[in-house]
């Protein structure tokens, strides 16, 4: 556990916010640059084989694709700031509308997954870091193993059990036209489990270590020797040391969860932002890829910064 002189706390909190802004700026340049290197652009994909070179050039000019890169970046950034993320190259619809239409579905799914993931992380972290010593090696191994399973394989396992073997839940979860995913909550069960379990195991692996560290602190040992009741040790002596790592783990898990929606939504045919990102990559729809990737990064970066700042403000001092 690091020592933190009191007066530097606010500085550290502020640093994490500044760093988040720098990171976001770097990510925006990277996202723009990468999408800019596409082998064939959306105009070619959209026009198909029938179009002549002149027609393609005209379409490119109309889409503003013929300007130099820095100009397009500046235009894009200015647009983002004013809430205009550009227009899809594939279907001419505003990117903000496309993203807005998908946002509720993904938020619902991510929310449901977090509802499962947070308590599950706590339970698994306890198993990996605080279970009775004899069992701990085994439980920690099991948690690490669960975290190692590739997510698509885990989804496949869920489908094989719940849909194929037992037939209780469908292998696809379509968001109903004009409805909300909550109209049929059973459709959310498999996708949210598919998101929550691997991430909870991963988070628990991280947190379990911190838990073991906190329990090994001298003052905790000391309290144990003095015969302080277990619940009191847990709440007064261990918990404060876990708060900061728990916040960071929560942020990391939430970030991984956002990224994992690409896999889980695609596998279940659930029409959210992750699925939009994947299909936009396939159609080379640069503005959509840029907007979704940047939005996801922003959520992750903001979460991490908030957790860092909060951790900096609350981390206990050990001399």
Partner 1 sequence: MRGSVGVAALVVLGLAVWGGALAPHDPSSTVAAPWLAPGGDHLLGTDAAGRDVWSRTLSGGRGIVLTSVLAAVAAGAAGTLGGLVAGWYGGWPDRLLSGTADLLLGVPLLLVALVLAVVLPAPAAVVAGAVCGGAPLTLRVVRDAVRRARRTGYVEAALGRGERTPVLLVREVLPGLAGVATADLGLRFVVALQLAAALGMLGLGAQPPAPDWGLMLRENLAGAALNPPALVAPAAALTVTALVAAAFARGTAERRTRLREPAP
Partner 2 sequence: MNTPHTIPRPGALLLSAALLAVSACSGADPAAEPDAGGDTLRYAATGSPSTATHDPHGGVGNESDSLRFGLLYDVLAVPGDDGTTELRLAESVEPADEELVEWTITLRSDAVFSDGSPVRAADVLYSLRRIEDKAAENFGRLGMFDFAASEVVDDHTLTVVAHQPYAAAPRALEAVTFVVPEGTEDFSEPVPGSGPFLFAEGDAENAVLERNDDWWGPTPPLERVEISAVADPQARAQAVSSGQADVGSSVAPSSVAAAEEEGLQVVRRPAVTMYPFVMRLDTPPFDDPAVREAFRLAADRDQLVETVFLGYGQVGDDVIAPADPASPETEARERDVDRARELLADAGHGDGLEVVLHTTTSYPGMDTAATLYAEQLEEVGVDVEISMDPPDTYWTDVFAQEPFYTGFYGGIPFTDIATVALLSDAPTNETAWERPEWDAAFAEALSTADAQERDGILSELMLELRDEGGYVVWGTGDGIDLATDDVADLPDGPGFDKLFIDQVRLTG
| Contact residues: partner 1, CB under 8 A | 19-20, 22-23, 26-27, 30-31, 34-35, 37-39, 141, 144-145, 147-157, 159-160, 163-165, 171-172, 205-206, 209-210, 213, 245, 248-249, 251-252, 255-256, 258-260, 262-263, 266-267, 269, 277-278, 281-282, 284, 289, 293, 296-297, 300-301, 304
Under 8 Å CB-to-CB from 165, ≥6 apart: which residues? Answer: none
Residues 75-134 that bind partner 2 (CB under 8 A): 87-88, 90-94, 97-98, 101, 103-104, 107-108, 110-112, 114-115, 118
Smallest gap from Cβ 31 to partner 2, in A, equals 17
DSSP string, 5-69: -TTHHHHHHHHHHHHHHHHHHHHHHHHHHHHHT-SS-HHHHHHTTS--HHHHHHHHHHTTTTS-H
Q: Coil, helix or strand for 162?
A: helix
Instruction: Tell me which of partner 1, partner 2, none is bound by residue 152, counting a contact when its beta carbon lies within the kind-specific cut-off of 5 to 8 angstroms.
Output: partner 1
| Residue 187 interaction partner, one of partner 1, partner 2, none, beta carbon < 5-8 Å per kind | partner 2
- Classify residue 270 by burial, with Cβ atoms within 10 Å: 0-12, 13-18, 19+: buried
40-55 burial, b if ≥16 CB within 10 A, otherwise e? ebbbbebeeeeeeeee
Cβ contact 130:212 at 8 Å: yes
Say if CB 173 and CB 268 are below 8 A apart. yes
Token pair of 313 as six digits: 């403000």
- Binding partner of residue 17 among partner 2, partner 1, none, CB cut-off 5 to 8 Å per kind: none
Between 3 and 137, name the residue whose CB sits nearer to partner 2: 3
- By C-beta, is 63 or 289 nearer to partner 1? 289
Out of 271, 287, 293, 294, the residue judged to bind partner 2 by CB under 8 A: 271
> Nearest-CA neighbor of 125 among 110, 139, 114, 111?
139
Q: Which does 53 bind (CB under 5 to 8 A by kind): partner 2, partner 1, none?
A: none
- Identity of the residue, 45 or 146, whose beta carbon is nearer to partner 2 in the bound complex: 45
Smallest gap, in angstroms, from Cβ of residue 78 to partner 2?
Answer: 20
User: Considering beta carbons, is residue 209 or 316 the nearer one to partner 1?
Assistant: 209
Query: How far is the C-alpha of 197 from the C-alpha of 151, rounded, in Å?
Result: 9
CA pair distance 159, 231, nearest whole angstrom: 40
Q: Does 183 bind partner 2 (CB under 8 A)?
A: yes
């Amino acid at each position: 556990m690091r020592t933190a002189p009191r007066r530097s706390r606010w500085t550290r909190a502020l640093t994490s916010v500044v760093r988040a802004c720098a990171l976001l700026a770097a990510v925006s340049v990277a996202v723009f640059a990468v999408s800019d290197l596409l082998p064939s652009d959306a105009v070619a994909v959209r026009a198909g084989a029938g179009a002549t070179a002149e027609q393609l050039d005209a379409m490119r000019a109309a889409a503003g694709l013929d300007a130099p890169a820095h100009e397009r970046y500046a235009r894009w950034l200015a647009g983002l700031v004013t809430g205009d993320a550009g227009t899809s190259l594939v279907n001419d619809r505003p990117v903000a509308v496309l993203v807005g239409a998908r946002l509720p579905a993904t938020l619902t799914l991510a929310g449901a997954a977090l509802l499962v993931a947070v308590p599950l992380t706590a339970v698994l972290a306890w198993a990996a870091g605080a279970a009775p010593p004899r069992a701990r090696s085994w439980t920690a191994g099991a948690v690490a193993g669960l975290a190692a399973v590739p997510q698509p394989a885990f989804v496949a396992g869920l489908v094989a059990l719940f849909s194929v073997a037992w037939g209780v839940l469908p292998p696809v979860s379509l968001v109903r036209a004009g409805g909300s995913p909550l109209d049929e909550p059973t459709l959310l069960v498999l996708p949210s489990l598919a998101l929550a379990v691997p991430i909870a195991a991963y988070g628990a692996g991280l947190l379990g270590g911190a838990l073991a560290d906190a329990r090994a602190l001298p003052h905790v040992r000391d309290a144990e020797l003095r015969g302080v009741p277990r619940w009191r040790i847990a709440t007064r002596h261990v918990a404060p040391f876990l708060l900061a790592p728990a916040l960071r783990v929560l942020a990391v898990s939430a970030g991984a969860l956002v990224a994992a929606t690409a896999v889980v939504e695609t596998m279940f045919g659930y029409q959210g932002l992750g699925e939009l990102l994947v299909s936009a990559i396939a159609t080379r729809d640069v503005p959509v890829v840029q907007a979704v990737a940047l939005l996801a990064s922003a959520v992750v970066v903001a979460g991490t910064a908030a957790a860092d700042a909060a951790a900096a403000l609350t981390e206990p001092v050990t001399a």
